[in-house]
Structure 1
Amino acid sequence: MEVTPVEVKQYFNGFKKEVLERQTHWEEIDPRPHAVGVFVRLRRLTWYEEILPKIEEAIALIEDIEEKQLFIK
C-alpha cells in the first residue's frame, strides 16, 4: 500500500494537534501534587517540547517534497 505525501502531512498535522492538546492539559493540571507527580509532569512536558519541533520539521519536509513534485511535473 502506497502512502501519499498528503496523507502523511494530514497524519502529522493531526498528531501535532493532539500533542498540543495534551501539552496544554498537562500545563494546566498536575494530578499528583507530590514530588513524583511533579517529575512525571516535567518529563511529559519535556517530551512534548522535544517532539513538537520534529513534527514541524516533518511537515516542512513534506511540503518541500510536494513543491518539488509539482516543479518536476
Structure 2
Amino acid sequence: MLDDDERLARQEAFWLIKEFGAEAPLYAAMKAEKAIEQKDFGRCARWKRILEILADSRPVSSARAKSAASKY
C-alpha cells in the first residue's frame, strides 16, 4: 500500500508524461531546481521522487536492453 506522498508523486509523474511526453523529466528537473533556489527542500524531495518515477517508467531502448542482456 502506498502512502499519500508516494501516491501523489506517482499521479504527478504520470500526468507529466501525459502532458509533456518525453520532456516530462526536464520539466520535473526545472521544478526541483526552482525549489532548491527557494530553499524549499521538502518540495525538492518530492520533485526528486517524481524524477525517479519518470526514470523508472521510461521504456528501455533496444540498444540499452541488448547491452544489459549481454552482461548476463
So what's the TM-score if we normalise by structure 2?
A: 0.51
Larger radius of gyration: 1
Q: Which amino acid aligns with 1:59?
A: L
Any runs of at least 4 consecutive aligned residues in structure 1 with deviations exceeding 3 A, and if so which? none
Number of positions where the alignment pairs a residue of Structure 1 with one of Structure 2:
46
For residue 3 of structure 1, what is the aligned residue in structure 2? 20
For residue 63 of structure 1, what is the aligned residue in structure 2? 55
Tell me the distance in 1 between the aligned counterparts of 2:50 and 2:34.
16
Q: Which amino acid aligns with 1:11?
A: Y
Q: 1:21 aligns with which of 13, 30, 37?
A: 37
So what's the TM-score if we normalise by structure 1?
A: 0.51
Query: How far apart are residue 54 of structure 1 and its match?
Result: 0.9
3-state SS of paired residue (1:70): coil
Q: Structure 1: where are the runs of 5+ without partners? A: 24-47
Cα 1:15–1:71 change in 2 (3 A) is: same
Q: CA RMSD in A?
A: 2.5
Identity, % of aligned positions: 11
